[in-house]
Amino acid sequence: MSRRKERRPQRKRVIGADPVPVSALAVHDGDTTEEARVDGFSGSGEVRAPRKRTKHTEPLSLSIVEFAGLYASLAALWDMSAQYEQQLIKNRGAGRQWECSVADVMVYQLLINQLRSARAVDRFLQDPRNWKYICQQVEKAFPNHPERRLSNESPTRFQYIRMLKALVARIPGFHEQLRSGVTDAVVNAAKHAGCGQDKASLTHPSKMNMMMGDATWEQSLFNGINGRPYTHQYTGEICIARGDPDAKPFHREGSAPGNYFVSVIARTEHPHERFILDSQYKPDGVSDGTVFTNMALGLLNRFDRMQGVVYDMALKSEDQDRIGATGRHVLCKVTRTKSGRVRSEVIGNHKFVGSGSHFYQDVHSVDGCPVIEVVDIDGKKHLVPLTRKQSKLNGTRMYNHFEVPDHPLVPLSKRGATAWIRVFSSQDDLDAGKPRPRFIRSIPLNDPDFDRLYGLREDTESMHNDYKSRLVNRRARTIGLERRELDLRGYQLHQMAVAIAAWSMRTGGDVSEFLGNWKPPERLQRQKAA
């Protein structure tokens, strides 16, 4: 019986608010090696089922047909479909007339998120009452937009597939257009819900002003590598394996083929109000941290008050510096060294200013936290973590104001003294081969704000799990990145619809810009009133 994959044990925190004896740490200053990552499929050949997840929360208490009505009321869907419709007409070649509109197909695509497969959607839409209800919902949502109407008959699966092929084939750069269209819509919706709009200080950023990201491995539909011959186990016949042409093996050649995709999300502090701002399959030869950084840099410019990003340890120092150069925080843990030790480095000799006096003191960094060394009465050395009092920008360069804590171990003359420490690399640091994000964090791991904000990253994992739970057997439902990309965009739009509807139901705010005159079902409004 195969063992299920267990949750990885949480890493023990070595630096808290209290001093730590140097002897208890056994650190090596300046060790730049990095511990190998062990996450994802191990590649050791061991067959282990994914972690069992029993808890599921239903985002909105809507039936499938009500969800269909919500999808069809998305203004972004109509804007995009109108744009593609025009381009299709412009680039139309020979052949039969399409029997459905782009909007029909987009609603079809979104419904797959509820029903898990195109065949299931097909069966659902074979009941004319369902399609009729969806059409009525559109009429209610956009009474003043007669052009925003679905076809009289629902699209069949073949019509859906044909339309998708046409969109990809006949519209140049369709995927880029779709990605930017969806991202624009989601960014506007996220702003409308208040993401990246909170008036919080840079020192204590608001949860609403953080962007989170993560990468996940999506296994392809088939186990085999595309085109690879294999010998049939009974007949001995040489066969060609079925496989996804774009899927890559994970660790070992041939194991668990699939692709990584990376998502960037933002959220409010309330349930279900999570927006996937952008999502992208990771190209070969680029780390997922770099892909995330590229996406985040594009998005950060669109939110004036976005104050930082949260990612896992795949975010390398170069990528952190790129985000840091925009004056934003980067929240991520610090990798251990190859020998499994806590990373430690000398930051430098800093001037500490106290009340009426100053002194110079060597500041070290242990596990991303700046510390100073003190001795106790017996001559034993201790590391005292400094307390972050303020984060400040000089232009776009971030500095943290650290204070020596008032602790019995700290000499009286040093207590309360403060120093400014730069947290991202300067050109000199890079020239010296000592990029600062390798060993220091703008919000150190022992800072209360780190605990408050770092947990947000798990929302991305949660969204990825939700996406995969909507796939059959948690594998890609289509073959080839072109089609899989459409599934991803569909989920992005679905999540936006859920988030904006949840926000509207919580606040009663106006969402006509995004959902026309859509109103939550009567029973939900009654529940809320009660």
Partner 1 sequence: MESDEPVRTAEVLEIVLPLVVMRYPAESGTAEKCAKTIRQALNYFLHNGAELIEHITPEMVDDFLWLGTHRREYKEPSSATAANRQWALRVLFELLREMGVWDGPDMTGDSIDREHGRSSRPATPDEIEQIQIMATNVLVPSGDELLLALALCGGSASEISVVCREDIDLDEGEIHFVGVSERVNRIPEWSQHVFEETVTRLPESTPLVVRPGLPLARATQSVTTRLNNLMKRAGFSRVSDMTGVSIRLGAAQQILATEGLEAAARFLGNQSLDLTAKSLRYDWWAQN
Q: Residue 3 half-sphere exposure, CB side, CA atoms within 13 Å?
A: 4
Measured CA to CA, the distance from residue 97 to residue 76 in angstroms comes to 25
**Piece of 137-145, 373-381, 444-452, 474-482 that binds partner 1 (CB under 8 A):** 373-381
Question: Is 94 a binder of partner 1 (CB under 8 A)?
Answer: no
Which residues, including other chains, have CB under 8 Å from residue 159's CB and lie 6 or more apart?
Answer: 98, 99, 100, 104, 105
The closest of 473, 435, 333, 449 to 39, measured between CA atoms, is 333
Q: Which is nearer to partner 1, 382 or 470 (CB)?
A: 382
Q: Which is nearer to partner 1, 111 or 410 (CB)?
A: 410
Q: Which is nearer to partner 1, 127 or 406 (CB)?
A: 406
Angle subtended at Cα 463 by Cα 457 and Cα 469, rounded to the nearest 5 degrees: 140
Measured CA to CA, the distance from residue 16 to residue 290 in angstroms comes to 30
Question: Is 379 a binder of partner 1 (CB under 8 A)?
Answer: yes
Q: Which is nearer to partner 1, 157 or 407 (CB)?
A: 407
Whether 346 contacts 364, CB under 8 Å: yes
Map the footprint of partner 1 across residues 11-40, applying CB under 8 A. 19
CA distances from 114 to 118, 133, 380, 470, 491 (A): 10, 17, 62, 7, 10
- What is the per-residue binding string for partner 1 in 400-439, x denoting contact by CB under 8 A? -------xxxxxxxx-------------------------
Question: Is 378 a binder of partner 1 (CB under 8 A)?
Answer: yes
| Rg, the chain, Cα only | 27
Q: Which position among 39, 46, 376, 513 is part of the footprint of partner 1 (CB under 8 A)?
A: 376
C-beta of 354: minimal distance to partner 1 in Å?
A: 10
C-beta of 358: minimal distance to partner 1 in Å?
A: 12
Q: Which is nearer to partner 1, 378 or 522 (CB)?
A: 378
The backbone torsions φ and ψ at residue 76, rounded to the nearest 5 degrees and listed phi first, read -60, -40
Map the footprint of partner 1 across residues 283-322, applying CB under 8 A. none
Q: Which residue has the tokens 């959220």?
A: 267
**Piece of 163-171, 295-303, 372-380, 495-503 that binds partner 1 (CB under 8 A):** 372-380
Q: Which is nearer to partner 1, 15 or 65 (CB)?
A: 15
3-state SS, one letter per residue, for 125-171? HCCHHHHHHHHHHHHHHCCCCCCCCCCCCCCCHHHHHHHHHHHHHHC
Q: Which is nearer to partner 1, 238 or 412 (CB)?
A: 412
Q: Which position among 38, 49, 377, 529 is part of the footprint of partner 1 (CB under 8 A)?
A: 377
Name the residues that contact partner 1, by CB under 8 A.
19, 357, 375-379, 381, 407-414
